[in-house]
Homo-oligomer: A and B are copies of this chain.
Amino acid sequence: MAAPEHPRMSDVAHRAGVSLSTVSRALRGAPGVSPAVRARVERAAAELSYVVSRDASSLVTGATGRVAVIVPFLRPWFFGAALAGISPELRAAGLDMLVYEVGDAEALDGYVQALPLRRNVDAVIAVSLDLDDRETKQLDDIGVPVVYCSQRAEGRPSVFIDNVAAAAAGTRHLLNLGHRRVAYVQSRDETGFSWGSLHRRDGYLQAMAEAGAEPLVVTDRAGQRGGAAAMARLLGAPSPPTAVFAESDDVAFGALAVLRRSRVPVPEAVSLLGFDDNDVAAVLDLTTVAQPVHELGAEAARLTARLLRGTADRAEHLRLPTELVVRRSTSVPRTSPGMHLHSHTDLRGRQ
């Protein structure tokens, strides 16, 4: 049970009958090694199942071969999807992925202060961190490129969606079906509104204004809880909306639960629109504004790799498209013919 000391490069050199530097060159695919010798070295390495120590090479090259992915939380659907997009792209570029879950804004602050990443990664991908200017500047101090994923950061590489336009399009879907009383449910937690939340609301307001419809924004906690509470309030309003646009699918689920419990048929009495297109949305047949989370991650990773190769702009911006996924939670309103449709067709058939 004595530690089976792993072979070092000198072992390979010895076995192949060449020098250390030749092994180094051969294994890295560096030029200046004759095919014959290269093959011999490779065989020797394989026979010993030799693996280079990245620590040792990093020490001299200065590159670690690692990129840190910082996420606020690991559990929500969103981050699994983003990481799934990032991981293969990083791997393809020969980079390892370190994942750090930093928690809410406050925890992030302490984390960034300590700069533990400095000198220990080649780049960092910040996923949906919702940073303000000051925090963004702090991240700059890490001293390696920081790529923003699902957040737009001025003057820095970022990959994101146009929340304003996406939300406006979603709102117009409802408006075009004939709805006039369209409510928007937004959420805020202890640390305030997220950028996404704000931008989506702006898109909603913009579309409502363009249609000359009276906006109705309800704010509550985040998640299903908040959605449920908001929907309850909406149900008790003087003139309840015929359509509800929830900031996120999750909020929509909370609203949907209240609607079901109240025996309010969806979409007959109330149309419900979400945002995200998470896994649950399909199961619950929720119409939603889909954002390409996997792609957001993949693009961020590719951008990171290019940055590291020096073939990308230090401030490159990538805006990815969103898409309205129409399912069965939205339809023309029950009582009025659609503004732009000529018959009151129930898209869903009888319940």
9 A-B pairs in the complex with CB atoms less than 8 angstroms apart: A51-B118, A53-B119, A53-B120, A77-B77, A84-B101, A97-B98, A98-B99, A253-B283, A279-B280
Q: Which A residues between 273 and 300 are near B, CB-CB below 8 angstroms?
A: 279-280, 283-284, 294
Copies of this chain? 2
Known: A59-B59, A98-B96. Is A51-B119 also a contact (CB below 8 A)?
yes
Task: Please determine whether A118 and B80 come into contact, CB atoms closer than 8 angstroms.
Answer: no
Q: Which A residues between 33 and 92 are near B, CB-CB below 8 angstroms?
A: 49, 51-56, 58-59, 64, 66, 73-77, 79-81, 83-84, 87-88, 91
Chain B proximity mask over A222-236: 1 for CB below 8 Å, otherwise 0: 001000000000000
- Rounded to whole angstroms, the CA-CA distance of A184 and B53 in the bound complex is 49
List of 5 A-B pairs having minimum Cβ-Cβ separation, nearest first: A74-B84, A80-B80, A55-B58, A51-B118, A75-B84
- Rounded to whole angstroms, the CA-CA distance of A40 and B6 in the bound complex is 40
Name the distance in Å between A276's Cβ and chain B's nearest Cβ. Answer: 13
Select which of B53, B120, B279 is within 8 A of A77 by beta carbon. B279
- Rounded to whole angstroms, the CA-CA distance of A52 and B59 in the bound complex is 12
Residues on the B chain within 8 Å of A56, using CB: 55, 59
Task: Please determine whether A83 and B88 come into contact, CB atoms closer than 8 angstroms.
Answer: no
Q: Is A257 an interface residue (CB 8 A)?
A: yes
- Rounded to whole angstroms, the CA-CA distance of A294 and B75 in the bound complex is 9
Q: Which residues of A contact B (CB under 8 A)?
A: 4, 6, 49, 51-56, 58-59, 64, 66, 73-77, 79-81, 83-84, 87-88, 91, 96-101, 115-116, 118-120, 141, 143, 224, 253, 257, 279-280, 283-284, 294
Residues on the B chain within 8 Å of A49, using CB: 115, 118, 141
Task: Please determine whether B83 and A224 come into contact, CB atoms closer than 8 angstroms.
Answer: no
- Rounded to whole angstroms, the CA-CA distance of A64 and B52 in the bound complex is 14
- Rounded to whole angstroms, the CA-CA distance of A75 and B59 in the bound complex is 34
Other than A51-B115, A55-B64, A75-B84, give 17 A-B pairs with Cβ distance below 8 A. A6-B119, A49-B115, A54-B119, A55-B56, A55-B58, A55-B120, A59-B59, A74-B87, A76-B80, A77-B77, A77-B80, A87-B100, A88-B101, A91-B100, A96-B98, A279-B280, A280-B283
Residues on the B chain within 8 Å of A77, using CB: 77, 80, 279
- Rounded to whole angstroms, the CA-CA distance of A228 and B330 in the bound complex is 24
Known: A6-B119, A83-B99, A87-B101. Is A59-B55 also a contact (CB below 8 A)?
yes
Instruction: Name the residue of chain B whose CB is nearest to the CB of A61.
Output: B55
Name the distance in Å between A213's Cβ and chain B's nearest Cβ. Answer: 30
